[in-house]
Structure 1
Amino acid sequence: MSVTVADIKAAQERIAGAVDRTPTRHSRRLSQLTGAEVWVKFDNLHFTGSFKERGALNRLLLLSPEERKRGVVAASAGNHAQALAYHGGRLGVPVTIVMPEGTPFVKIDGTRAHGAEVVIHGLDFTASTAEAHRLRDEKGYVFVSAFDDEGIVAGQGVCALELMADAPDLDALIIPIGGGGLIAGCAIAAKAARPDIRIFGVEAAMYPSFSARRRGETPKCGGATIAEGIAIKAVGDIPFALAEPLIEDVLVCQEEDFEKAVAFYATLEKTVAEGAGAGGLAALLAYPERFKGMKVGLVLCGGNIDARMLAVVLNREMVRERRLIVYRILGDDRPGMLSAMAAVIGGLGGNIIDVVHNRLALDVPAKGAEFDIMVETRDSAHADEIGRALRDKGYALRMGQDFAS
């Protein structure tokens, strides 16, 4: 078992012209935000929206004519599925994909649109993989792992060849880890170009499979993470063996870190990232002291996020920044009460988004009402200013975790 930089360069030549060479750009905004010099590899700009195209196409091109005729089967939460479906369709290779329940609709629809047969089976990637193996044995398909395959690893390493060519002076790369194919290929390629470059992995706290295996522990994995693209209970044997000696550290991030990273990519870089795709930035936000002053490369490895989930994440970030806040006010239930409160809020430039009356709460007087007024503010200081003005006018603001203090 071995993947060398020569294998990665051969994959680069093999897929040339069929997979986009995505841009790498210096981000002044993210650099100001994090204290590092940040370079972003925009792999969300691939035709299927993620880095997976390189590995999928390389692996398909390595099939024999007889294997192409039989077709392939894979288990995937979406990005490997779309890449395999798209390039399988181009090459005339039948593709069957098994996806776990709860896979985002955008990934399911995208896979079907490229002509693959989609089977929804299992609550997680492990169960989907077992079903894919069953179909392989029953139908005679070739199983193409999303990560535990030398051809896949070699293809994914092309990402780092491109990144290092565009930004040769990087001090470190921060790369999300699911099954490990991307970080294994990129670590091999990056270290060949610059032996002293530091490689860091990123995992979701709900699925710390690589870091647990490093410690010789059984990983405790489970839960609905926004980073479903790296929600893998067991890192692949091949990528682990290849990457483990080359990785300096694996940084585990919480859900809030991934949400913030998705939001910052949208608001600062004006680009769309899915949870897993934003993993590098999530780690930079969670561990800024580790990278302060360093030249850091981030692989924005995917942008396939449901529009509804993106909207939820952006609104949640507004709540965290107190630019979207609910004032809960106890007042008399009489005509003009709401308009008077609205006049205070509007007079200070607050934008009322929603109002909810509650007349049935038993801790509210029968002749009173509880008003939840959702307001868009400029920032936290503006939120406090509005809250003080409401109190100064005699309105009783109730305390709560998500309400003005």
Structure 2
Amino acid sequence: MNLDDVVIARERMKGIVHMTPLDFSQTFSSLSGNEVYLKLENLQKTGSFKVRGSYNKLNSLSEDELKKGVVAASAGNHAQGVAYSSKMLGIPCTIVMPKGAPLSKVLATRRYGAEVILEGAVFDEALSHAQQLKDQMGATFIHAFDDHAVIAGQGTVGLEILEQLPDVDAIICPVGGGGLIAGVALAVKKKKPDIKVYGVQTLACPSMKHSLEQNQPVAVQAAPTMADGIAVQKPGQETFKIIRDYVDDLFCVDEMEIARTMLMLLERNKLLVEGSGASPLAALLNNEKTNLKNKKIAVVLSGGNVDVNFISRIIERGLVESGRYAQFTLTLKDKSGELQKVLSYITELEANIQTVNLHRMGKHIYPGYVQLELSVETKNQEHIEQLYNLLQIKGFHIKLEE
């Protein structure tokens, strides 16, 4: 695989996929001490970069292979990318998803014209069934990342960044199976070897980082993560080789950093970005991870397919992590005026009380006392500490819920 493969992929997908914006962000530039540009693949067709690789792969098939159709296994963005690409080419497409796949993603994939089969409790079982279908139907299996044509398609993101920001110093990408960063790194390094390319994984599933440390692809046990798009337990053989040769370093972020970044993107830039897409920016904002200063940096926001039911949880989690929301439990004397005192102290510090619950019965509530539960909208962690300290000084027994 070489740069020509990526250039050919770019020509193939003209008019089919978007050349997504590379948007300068004053907010994140100030926060990171760099000149930060956001590559908005969350605005790509199907909501993620995945359509690039799948479309290029399908275009590389022979006429006979196209007639027999394609099969893929995915619970997320790859499914929609393959389904959309198949629709553009007018070929049969079957996607196998685990039975627990979000309904929104199942419906979105079907809307692109694919036949969706729900099989297995987990992704590995869906993948096994997809492999069986491929053999039965004589169809071509479309791998999510470990395929040269797929990698070349994803590499077009790198070519676009070079056109949009020729003097870029560094590019930061999320890393799951490695298809995106492998394609970007190969394309960029072949044209401009001095540009740094960095990858970001979650601490919940650092498979590529561990693989590089052991100099071979290894599997890790994944913990639950909101960045499910990059929670790949074992990277690909081909992607590993390219990343080993062309990527400068990999960093890891935790759930708190991802949630905070998702909320900041939504609030400051009006961008809905999924956990995997927000992870590169989360790493950049945590300066001790990347140690980048005074550089022109392109951050790839790889996708924006967030389940509607999950958005409110992300907002709540982000508010808690950034000190914008707190819950207190207080023990009060059960007499007139005590509740009013507490509420007045809180409003004096300009916190916004959202809910108030008063309990007179409970295991740890003694006669003559009540338990008060409060949820409060706050400004930051320092503001929460001010509230806590004031209520303690006023003589209330208080517990700050984690």
Distance 2:393 2:212 in 1: 58
Q: Secondary structure at the match of 2:45?
A: coil
Amino acid at match of 1:53: V
Question: What is the alpha-carbon distance in structure 2 between the residues aligned to residue 101 and residue 283 of structure 1?
Answer: 33
Give 1:382's aligned amino acid. H
Q: In structure 2, what is the Cα distance between the partners aligned to 1:243 and 1:389? A: 53
Secondary structure, counterpart of 2:246 in structure 1: coil
Match of 2:139 in 1: 141
Whether the 8 Å CA contact 1:50–1:79 is kept in 2: the answer is yes
Contact 1:175 1:202 in 2 (8 A): yes
Bigger drift between 151-160 and 324-333 goes to: 324-333
Q: Which moved more, 1:285-294 or 1:146-155?
A: 285-294
Q: 2-side partners of 1:387 and 1:340: how far apart?
A: 14
Greater shift, 346-355 or 379-388, is seen at 379-388
Deviation at 1:114, TM superposition (A): 1.5
Relative distance call for 1:10 and 1:389 in structure 2 (3 A) is: same
CA contact (8 A) 2:155 2:182 kept: yes
**Counterparts of 2:310 and 2:172, CA distance in 1:** 24
For 1:283 and 1:388, locate their aligned partners in 2 and report how far apart those are by CA, in whole Å.
33
Asked if the contact 1:77/1:228 (under 8 Å) is kept, the reply is no
Which residues of 2 match residues 15-26 of structure 1 at below 5 A?
15-26=13-24
2:391–2:398 CA contact under 8 A, matched in 1: no
- Partner letter of residue 280 of structure 1? P
Q: Percent identity?
A: 37
Q: Deviations over 1:350-386 (max 9, x none)?
A: 2111122233332221221111111112233433443
- Give 1:393 deviation, angstroms: 4.6
The TM-score normalised by the length of structure 2 is 0.93
Cα offset for 1:266? 1.2
Query: Distance between the aligned counterparts of 1:100 and 1:183, measured in 2?
Result: 26
Secondary structure in 2 matching 1:195: coil
State the match for 1:108 in structure 2: 106
Structure 1 position 219, deviation (Å): 3.1
Distance 1:309 1:8 in 2: 35
Alignment of 1:6-405 (within 5 A): 6-216=4-214, 218-288=218-288, 290-334=291-335, 336-391=337-392, 393-394=394-395, 396-402=396-402
State the SS of the aligned residue for 2:133.
helix
Contact (CA 8 Å) 2:38, 2:301: kept in 1 or not? yes
Q: CA RMSD in A?
A: 2.0
Secondary structure of residue in 2 paired with 1:278: helix
| TM-score normalised by the chain length of structure 1 | 0.92
Distance 1:370 1:28, change over 3 A: same
> Once the 2 structures are TM-superposed, how far is the Cα of residue 246 of structure 1 from its aligned partner?
0.4
Residue type at the aligned position of 1:356: N
Distance 2:14 2:92 in 1: 22
- Residues 52-96 of structure 1 show CA distances to partners (whole Å, capped at 9, x for unaligned) of 111111112222222222211111231111111112123221211
Q: Classify the secondary structure of the residue corresponding to 2:277.
A: coil
CA separation in 2, counterparts of 1:387 and 1:229? Answer: 38
Contact between 1:125 and 1:232, CA under 8 Å: does it hold in 2? no
Cα distance in 1 for partners of 2:108, 2:197 equals 32
Once the two structures are TM-superposed, the CA of residue 102 in structure 1 deviates from its matched residue by 4.5
Partners of 1:329 and 1:226 lie apart in 2 by 32
2:13 and 2:55 in contact (8 A); partners too: yes
Q: Which amino acid aligns with 2:83?
A: A
Contact map agreement 1:161 1:190 (CA 8 A) in 2: yes
CA distance in 1, matches of 2:224, 2:99: 11
The number of equivalent residue pairs is: 399
Offset of residue 300 of structure 1:
0.4
C-alpha separation in 2, matches of 1:241 and 1:379: 44
Residues 1:277 and 1:139: Cα distance change in structure 2 (over 3 Å): same
- Runs of 5+ in structure 2 lacking a partner? none
**Cα gap change, 1:209/1:380 in structure 2, threshold over 3 Å: closer, same or farther?**
closer
User: What's the CA shift for 1:136?
Assistant: 0.8
Distance (Å, rounded) in 1 between the aligned partners of 2:111 and 2:51: 16
- Given residue 398 of structure 1, which amino acid in structure 2 is its aligned partner? I
Q: CA deviation at 1:392?
A: 5.1
Matched-pair contact (CA < 8 Å) for 2:32–2:287: no
Deviation, 1:212, is: 1.9
* Structure 1, unpaired ranges of 5+: none
The amino acid of 1:315's aligned partner reads E
- Tell me which amino acid in the other structure corresponds to 1:345: I
Instruction: Give the Cα–Cα distance (whole angstroms) in 1 for the partners of residues 140 and 117 of structure 2.
Output: 16
Give the residue type in structure 2 aligned to 1:331.
Answer: L
Q: Which region of structure 1 is more displaced relative to structure 2, 378-387 or 326-335?
A: 378-387
| Local SS of the residue matching 2:10 | helix
Cα deviation, residue 116, structure 1: 1.5
| CA-CA distance at 1:158 after TM superposition | 0.6
Distance 2:122 2:146 in 1: 17
Deviation at 1:123, TM superposition (A): 4.8
Match for 1:94: what amino acid?
P
